[in-house]
Structure 1
Amino acid sequence: MSPITACLFDLDGVLVDTAKYHYIAWKRLAEELGFEFTEQDNERLKGVSRMASLDILLEIGGLAPDEETKLDLAAKKNAWYVEYISTMDASEILPGALEFIQSLKERGIKVALGSASKNAMLILNNTGLTPYFDAIIDGTKTQQAKPDPEVFTLGARELGVPTESCVVFEDAEAGIEAATRAGMRCVGIGSPETLGRANLVISSLEGFTVDRLLGLQEK
């Protein structure tokens, strides 16, 4: 197997916990539209783009508005979400995430963000994570949503490394599939039942080491 020279990280649920803010905003939109949106429903939105998430929400509510209305609804949800995440700070970085990224940098391994979020820069700036990334690919740079591999192949290109030398860190099935389709190894963060297609599944980045990561080179 190729040596690991770069790591690409999803943002939501991997480095920071913005999922709760997404859920609050989607739930608020559903209630305004007259139906319930549960935490179980929200699981279907993990790793999915904003408009695709809206389509799922509208399907749950049994609604089929025109495209102009859909754009207005997506903008409303995003405005609420931005309002919520504007108060984020470094305390909302998930346990072990910053320490692991710092250890990657110390070992000369490149680091990139690969996120569908169009608000990634706001989150990275508010939490102080921006300087740690050699490349940042977010929803403003991509045309295709995960499970399309575009976000990760763009990341590898911007880092100047071959895809087979990259490892992706993801918490969603769509992200695992995107990494696989990009020809990259993948570490799933969460449940083995959900993320079983990853090369390795861990509960969080807390306590995870570069040496354990490099063990994937043998697999």
Structure 2
Amino acid sequence: MNKDILKYLEKHGFEALRPKAVLFDMDGVLYDSMPNHAIAWQRSMEVFGIRMTLDDAYATEGARGVDTIRMMVKKQQGREIDEPEAQRMYDEKTRQFHALPETHIMPGILDLMAQIHADGLTIGVVTGSGQRPLINRLLKDFGAYLTEDHIVTAYDVKHGKPAPDPYLMGLQKCGDLKPWEAFVVENAPLGVRAGVAAQIFTIAVNTGPLPNKVLADAGTNHIYAKMPDLAEAWHELISDCR
């Protein structure tokens, strides 16, 4: 058995890893969208006098947008804002994002989903976004493998990543599963921390500029350099669970 799986089982006291679902993050995992998000964050927050760097955008990736905004306002302006005000600011970020060219599907992801689907596992998406156009695009691009009732958005939970709530909701939506009955696929430290906090075997695919150490320090169970590597390793990974 894979040594990372053994470590995971020993850590949590689980008898076996028997995945019935794979829960994917969206940005930076399903879509090569983080460069556009970083631009949109920088441009939109500048409107409100908030300086958001490229590193800030990647470090807060996966969190609910309103939570990121409230944190940045508190940090830079020393004031607390309520969720409606943060939502108005996030609406500007959404506008800026959709003004940019459409992002591409991440290389390797369709191959991976086809394998997962062929193995009879449910595919879910757990995202900190909640914009209807993005949900519609998910269903258009991945409709052969994904249904809307298996999508968790920012509006399904009160506490976003790095809290475990989004991935716990993903387990619930995919059939009231237990943590040892799923994989999480993430690319960002906050998302990794959320998957790990939910006690799900969490796979990091490092599609961004952060060093592997950041994802390792967040607690990921295994790291791949790019999505095609995970697609290539899928058969062996699933075999180690049987």
TM-score where L is the length of structure 1: 0.85
Structure 2 gaps of 5+ residues are 1-15
* 1:149-168 mapped onto 2 (5 Å cutoff): 149-160=164-175, 161-168=177-184
Which residue in 1 is equivalent to 2:122?
Answer: 110
Which residue in 2 is equivalent to 1:207?
Answer: 229
Q: Pick closer, same or farther for the CA change 1:18–1:3 going to 2, 3 Å.
A: same
Q: Pick closer, same or farther for the CA change 1:29–1:130 going to 2, 3 Å.
A: same
Cα deviation 1:49-91 (Å, max 9, x = unaligned)? 111111243345436374354332222222222343xx536xx
- Out of 56-65 and 15-24, give the one that drifted further: 56-65
Contact 1:121 1:130 survives alignment (8 Å) = no
Task: Say if 2:211 is the partner of 1:195.
Answer: no
* 1:32-181 mapped onto 2 (5 Å cutoff): 32-34=47-49, 36-59=51-74, 61-62=76-77, 64=79, 66-67=81-82, 69-84=85-100, 88=102, 92-119=104-131, 120-125=134-139, 128-134=141-147, 135-160=150-175, 161-181=177-197
- Out of 182-191 and 32-41, give the one that drifted further: 32-41
Structure 1 gaps of 5+ residues are none
CA RMSD of aligned residues (A): 2.3
Q: Pick closer, same or farther for the CA change 1:69–1:110 going to 2, 3 Å.
A: closer
Which residue in 2 is equivalent to 1:24?
Answer: 39
Instruction: Give the deviation of 1:118 after TM superposition.
Output: 0.4
Any idea what SS the aligned residue of 1:42 has?
Answer: helix
- Out of 64-73 and 38-47, give the one that drifted further: 64-73
- Taking the aligned partners of 2:50 and 2:68, their CA distance within structure 1 comes to 16
Instruction: Give the deviation of 1:35 after TM superposition.
Output: 5.4
Any idea what SS the aligned residue of 1:93 has?
Answer: coil
Contact 2:50 2:73 survives alignment (8 Å) = no
User: What one-letter code is carried by the residue in structure 1 that aligns with 2:108?
Assistant: G
Contact 2:183 2:200 survives alignment (8 Å) = yes
Aligned-residue sequence identity (percent) comes to 20
- Taking the aligned partners of 1:69 and 1:178, their CA distance within structure 2 comes to 26
Instruction: Give the deviation of 1:116 after TM superposition.
Output: 1.3
Any idea what SS the aligned residue of 1:188 has?
Answer: strand
Which residue in 1 is equivalent to 2:9?
Answer: none
